[in-house]
Structure 1
Amino acid sequence: MNAYLSVWRLRFINGMQYRAAAYAGMATQLFFGLVFIMIFVAFYQHSTQEQPISLKDVISYTWLQQIFLAFIMLWFRDNEIFQLITGGNIAYELCRPCGIYEFWFSKLLAQRVSSAALRCFPILIVAFLLPRPYRLQLPPSLTAGLLFVVSLLLGLLVVVSISMLIYISVFWTMSPVGSTLLIAVAGEFFAGLVIPVPLMPAWLQQIANALPFRWTADFPFRVYSGQIPQAEALWGILIQLLWLAALVGFGRWSLHRALRQVVVQGG
């Protein structure tokens, strides 16, 4: 356990050094957050039907996407791991006195946390200071805020466990492009990052509910706004834990099977 904590700490410190990239990303996220909110404001102003989610909740939903983008984006990738697999240097990883799955999981987790730590607080402050209707609202209660924090952290672990499957798939495909694009595009849509899940047609919502992606972003963001009641949020957190256990278990099994078939060329 100490080895994985050390890896996490070193990766976190290393990630905190990229401040220029963080500032550029922060400006980009503020820009796109405002653009998306303007689109939703126009949509709600000209809509003749009552929507299943209020404009205030959609604005909070959108800002939370931008604030915690590093936590939820599936297209975030570590090229170093891809190069280890495709270049044959995975042999060095096999010599480490620790599990590869846990080692990579710690690295990916630290990268996301460090990236979010540099960006989230400035965006959060700006989002709270904006005039209505562009302002981010506080959660309706302290309990809702605490449930949001728990569900967001569990969602982060689910995202990392899904990302691990992308890296493991490269043992067979030898190219990260296909699996990254496929999972990232599907995951971004069904997580509610294109349009919120409540605004999807009923049949699409059923598909989203059956996949793990929704539990990484849509669920914690709607817990924050109070659109998901507290009792339902507790059940949702249990579902997150089940998905996390299933994804980690499948990932460990897949990696073990992949490593049994690894052939490292050369000497």
Structure 2
Amino acid sequence: MRVYLSVLKLRMNMGLQYRTAALAGVATQFFWGIITIMIFEAFYEYAANTPPISLKELITYIWLQQAFLVFITMWFRDNELFELITSGNIAYELCRPCELYGFWYAKLLAQRLSSAFLRCFPILIISFFLPKPYNMTLPPSFPAFLLFLSALILGLLLLVAISMFLYISAFVTLSPMGSLLVFSVLGEFFAGLIIPVPLMPDWLEKIANVLPFRWTADFPFRVYSGHIPPHDAISGITIQLIYLVGLVWLGRAALNRVLRKAVVQGG
């Protein structure tokens, strides 16, 4: 475990050096958040029926999306790992005196944490001081905030476990672009990044509830806004844990299997 914690610390320190890129990302995400809110504001103004999630809750949902974007997007990737797999240099990784799945998991987790640390605070601070109705609001209670933090952390761990299948699939396809495209499109849509899950048709919402993607983004953000009450949040956190354990187990098994069949340069 000390090895993985060391990798996590080193990669986080490396990621925290890219402050200029993070500042550019903050400006982009802030602008995109304002545009998205304006679109939904027009939608709510002319909606024939009362939407299942209020505009106030939706605006908070959108700002949380922008603040923790690297926690919830599938397209945030490590091209170095793809290069190791496709070039055959994965042989060097196999020489490390630690399990490859845990090593890569810690590396990917650190990248997302460091990037989010640089970006989330400016977006959250500014969004609280915006004029109504564009401002972000506080959670309804302190217990709701604690449940949100738990759900957000578990959602991040779950997303990293899902993203590990991207790199595992590259052993088979030798081209990450196809898997990356499929995972990104499905992941972003069913996580509620395009359309919040409560605004989806009933049949589509049922599919989203079965897939693990919505538990990485939609669930923690709605816990924060109070749209999901505390007793339902506790049940959702239990589901997150089940998904996390299951996907990590499947990921380790799948990685060990493809490594047994992997062919690198030189035989």
Q: Same fold by TM (over 0.5)?
A: yes
Aligned to 1:141: 141
Aligned to 2:177: 177
- Could you tell me how far apart the structure 2 residues matched to 1:65 and 1:4 are? 28
Aligned to 2:98: 98
**C-alpha RMSD of the superposition:** 0.7
Aligned to 2:251: 251
Correspondence list, 1:217-256, <5 A: 217-256=217-256
SS of match in other structure, 1:91? helix
- Could you tell me how far apart the structure 1 residues matched to 2:263 and 2:176 are? 18
Letter aligned with residue 109 of structure 1: L
After superposition, give the CA deviation of every residue in 1:39-88 in whole Å (9 maximum; x if it has no partner). Answer: 11111111121110000000000000000001001101100000110111
- Could you tell me how far apart the structure 2 residues matched to 1:201 and 1:48 are? 15
Moved over 2 A (4+): none
- Could you tell me how far apart the structure 2 residues matched to 1:264 and 1:45 are? 59
- Could you tell me how far apart the structure 1 residues matched to 2:264 and 2:59 are? 51
Correspondence list, 1:27-106, <5 A: 27-106=27-106
SS of match in other structure, 2:180? helix
1:22 maps onto 2:22 in alignment? yes
Letter aligned with residue 266 of structure 1: G
Letter aligned with residue 190 of structure 1: F
Number of matched residues? 267
- Could you tell me how far apart the structure 1 residues matched to 2:261 and 2:215 are? 33
Letter aligned with residue 185 of structure 2: V
- Could you tell me how far apart the structure 1 residues matched to 2:124 and 2:263 are? 48
Q: Gaps spanning 5+ residues in structure 2: where?
A: none
Letter aligned with residue 242 of structure 2: L
Q: TM-score, normalised by structure 2?
A: 0.99
Aligned to 2:124: 124
- Could you tell me how far apart the structure 2 residues matched to 1:266 and 1:24 are? 43
After superposition, give the CA deviation of every residue in 1:104-160 in whole Å (9 maximum; x if it has no partner). Answer: 000000000000000000000000000000000100000000000000000000000
- Could you tell me how far apart the structure 2 residues matched to 1:229 and 1:245 are? 25
Report the Cα offset of residue 263 of structure 1. Answer: 1.3
Aligned to 2:210: 210
Report the Cα offset of residue 218 of structure 1. Answer: 0.3
- Could you tell me how far apart the structure 1 residues matched to 2:219 and 2:47 are? 25
- Could you tell me how far apart the structure 2 residues matched to 1:225 and 1:178 are? 35
Q: Gaps spanning 5+ residues in structure 1: where?
A: none
Letter aligned with residue 10 of structure 1: L
Aligned to 2:198: 198
Deviates more, 1:39-48 or 1:182-191: 39-48
Q: TM-score, normalised by structure 1?
A: 0.99
- Could you tell me how far apart the structure 1 residues matched to 2:134 and 2:195 are? 17
- Could you tell me how far apart the structure 2 residues matched to 1:74 and 1:157 are? 13
Letter aligned with residue 45 of structure 2: Q
Report the Cα offset of residue 12 of structure 1. Answer: 0.2
Q: What is the aligned-residue identity percentage? A: 65
1:112 maps onto 2:112 in alignment? yes
- Could you tell me how far apart the structure 2 residues matched to 1:105 and 1:60 are? 30
